[in-house]
């Protein structure tokens, strides 16, 4: 039995029933990581001894949690007590947190095994994981291509069989986009559904922690564990959490499904458009009513996002000044120390967004930029609220193109356009899931995004599970060899 090929729920059932030891699973993963990660580079910090120690504890106990033996990777902007958390930045390269994020506490309370911290775009600012201060991560489907971002390390770890599941963060698409690029499932929950306590802030009104997994079922199980009220996060909703696995395979509702019109698909990759249209035919063939919809406000969603998110980032990242923790540059004068620390510690994309945000918030420009973006955000939210009175779900492509080559997007605007289909859901706070929906001609996976109204993750998972089973995506991850390349490569 190849333990790394087991689905998360399947592996957990075997461990809980005593048929397989958690230590055997962890050892199998560590061996595989040693073989493939030198090329994929999904991890910034590997917690081998911590994982093995945790596995031995689980094996020694009779009573085991809902995630016993599940090998999970954590994006490196989610704090882990005693385990380095860098945010992919030089300014925090030696930071070891004294506490765990709520989501980490909840995973470990159910006997999940944290195997390491994954690479990311610095402070979650990017769509390719090329903005990491340490090294880029490569897509396991094609090592010359990016895994997406900013949760690219988490997506690559799951797709490369280096973890059963992973946590990422999604501010404007940073779970959904890498899930699409890597042929896996990724969820951005409703804003407030999952605690942000212990998530290093980028844009506080947008950030959400979400799971990446190999199937909708595994994604639903992880979400059932990490979701729920947390008094330490003032934005966390005090609402009960259903068992997202309950009735997952029993979706019998006659729903209406929103489908983008041609105007919304202009300029995207033809293979992405063709795959999306095939899904529309599939949905209609299943007996659901397909409603053609256009969203005029989405035309301003991207510029709106790239004013609001940098503005919040400029405020949140002001705390990295070299005084309390993190990098401190040598200097005689205090003001000079601030300048040198932030100049040496931050990468170019982070500096760009801090400058953008500071300008948008500055006296004389606030009303022209930030205030207008805030009004646009309200319009986008209202448009989606109206849409969800007409339909139950909205389907879109997750990304406008398949995974692109490393170094291909040198123009920042070209990189920002990767978020075209994902930012509206982030601005409105609604949940969205990306599932694989096909392959491009060159064998790269394509993603389908499914949106629902806030706090409807239960129905969202059921509908996504139905689509997953009918699309029958032929996942290539078992074809990955020890060099991380596809089988058909020379």
Do 398 and 177 form a contact (C-beta atoms < 8 A)? Answer: yes
Q: Which residues contact 462 (CB under 8 A, 6 or more apart)?
A: 247, 248, 250, 251
**471 token code pair:** 């699309």
Q: Which residues contact 481 (CB under 8 A, 6 or more apart)?
A: 487
Active site residue 75: yes
Q: Please, what sign has the CA dihedral across residues 415, 419, 421, 424?
A: negative
- b/e sequence 231-265, b meaning 16+ C-beta within 10 Å: eebeebbeeebeebbeebeebeeeeebbbbeeebb
Q: At what angle do helices 8-16 and 22-40 cross, to 10 degrees?
A: 150
- Catalytic option among 75, 117, 188, 462: 75
Backbone angles phi, psi at 199, to 5 degrees: -90, 120
- Catalytic option among 174, 297, 311, 314: 174
**Spatial separation of the C-alpha atoms in residues 391 and 393, rounded to whole Å:** 6
- Catalytic option among 28, 89, 127, 150: 150
- b/e sequence 95-106, b meaning 16+ C-beta within 10 Å: bebeebbbbbbb
**488 token code pair:** 């058909």
Query: What pairs with residue 450 in β-bridges?
Result: 395, 433
Q: Are strands 43-46 and 113-118 parallel, antiparallel or unpaired?
A: antiparallel
The long-range contacts involving 483-488, CB below 8 angstroms and separated by at least 24 positions, are 483/36, 483/39, 484/36, 484/39, 484/40, 484/138, 484/140, 484/143, 484/160, 485/142, 485/143, 486/141, 486/142, 486/443, 488/443
Backbone angles phi, psi at 292, to 5 degrees: -70, 130
Query: Exposed, middle or buried, 447 (CB in 10 Å: 0-12/13-18/19+)?
Result: buried
**Spatial separation of the C-alpha atoms in residues 427 and 303, rounded to whole Å:** 11
Q: Count H helices, E strands: the chain?
A: 15, 11
**53 token code pair:** 């120690």
Active site residue 174: yes
In angstroms, the Cα distances linking 173 to 127, 155, 432 are 8, 13, 9
Q: Which residues contact 234 (CB under 8 A, 6 or more apart)?
A: none
Secondary structure class of 188 (helix, strand, coil): strand
Active site residue 205: no
Residues forming the active site: 75, 150, 174
């Amino acid at each position: 039995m190849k333990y790394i090929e087991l689905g998360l729920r399947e592996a957990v059932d075997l461990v809980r029933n005593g048929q397989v030891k958690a230590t055997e699973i962890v050892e199998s993963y560590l061996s595989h990581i040693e073989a493939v990660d030198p090329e994929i580079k999904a991890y910034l910090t590997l917690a081998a001894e911590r994982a093995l120690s945790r596995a031995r504890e689980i094996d020694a106990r009779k009573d085991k949690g809902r995630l016993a033996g599940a090998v999970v990777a954590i994006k490196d902007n989610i704090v882990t007590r005693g385990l380095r958390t860098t945010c992919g930045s030089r300014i925090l390269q030696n930071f070891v947190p004294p506490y765990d994020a709520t989501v980490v506490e909840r995973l470990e309370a159910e006997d999940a095994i944290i195997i390491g911290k994954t690479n990311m775009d610095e402070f979650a600012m990017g769509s390719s994981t090329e903005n990491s201060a340490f090294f880029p991560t490569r897509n396991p489907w094609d090592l010359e291509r990016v895994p997406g971002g900013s949760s690219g390390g988490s997506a690559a770890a799951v797709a490369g069989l280096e973890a059963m599941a992973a946590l990422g963060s999604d501010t404007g698409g940073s779970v959904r986009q890498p899930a699409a690029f890597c042929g896996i499932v990724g969820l951005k929950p409703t804003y407030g559904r999952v605690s942000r306590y212990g998530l290093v802030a980028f844009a506080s009104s947008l950030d959400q922690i979400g799971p990446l997994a190999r199937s909708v079922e595994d994604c639903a199980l992880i979400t059932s564990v990490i979701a729920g009220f947390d008094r330490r996060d003032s934005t966390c909703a005090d609402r009960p959490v259903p068992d997202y696995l309950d009735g997952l395979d029993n979706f019998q509702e006659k729903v209406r499904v929103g489908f983008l019109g041609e105007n919304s698909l202009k300029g995207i990759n033809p293979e992405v458009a063709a795959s999306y249209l095939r899904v529309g035919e599939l949905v209609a063939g299943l007996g659901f009513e397909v409603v053609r919809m256009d969203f005029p406000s989405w035309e301003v969603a991207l510029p709106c996002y790239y004013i609001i998110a940098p503005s919040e980032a400029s405020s949140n990242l002001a705390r990295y000044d070299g005084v309390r923790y993190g990098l401190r540059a040598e200097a005689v004068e205090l003001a000079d120390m601030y300048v040198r620390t932030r100049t040496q510690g931050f990468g170019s994309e982070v500096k760009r967004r801090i400058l953008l945000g500071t300008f948008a918030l500055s006296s004389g420009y606030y009303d022209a930029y930030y205030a207008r973006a805030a009004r646009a955000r309200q319009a986008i939210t209202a448009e989606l609220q109206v849409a969800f009175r007409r339909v139950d779900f909205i389907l879109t492509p997750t990304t406008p193109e398949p995974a692109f080559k490393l170094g291909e997007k040198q123009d920042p605007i070209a990189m920002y356009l990767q978020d075209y289909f994902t930012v509206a859901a982030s601005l409105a706070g609604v949940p969205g899931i990306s599932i694989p929906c096909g392959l491009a001609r060159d064998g790269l996976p394509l993603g389908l995004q499914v949106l629902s109204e806030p706090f409807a993750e239960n129905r969202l998972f059921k509908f996504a599970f139905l689509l997953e089973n009918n699309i029958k995506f032929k996942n290539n991850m078992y074809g990955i060899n020890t060099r991380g390349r596809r089988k058909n490569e020379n």
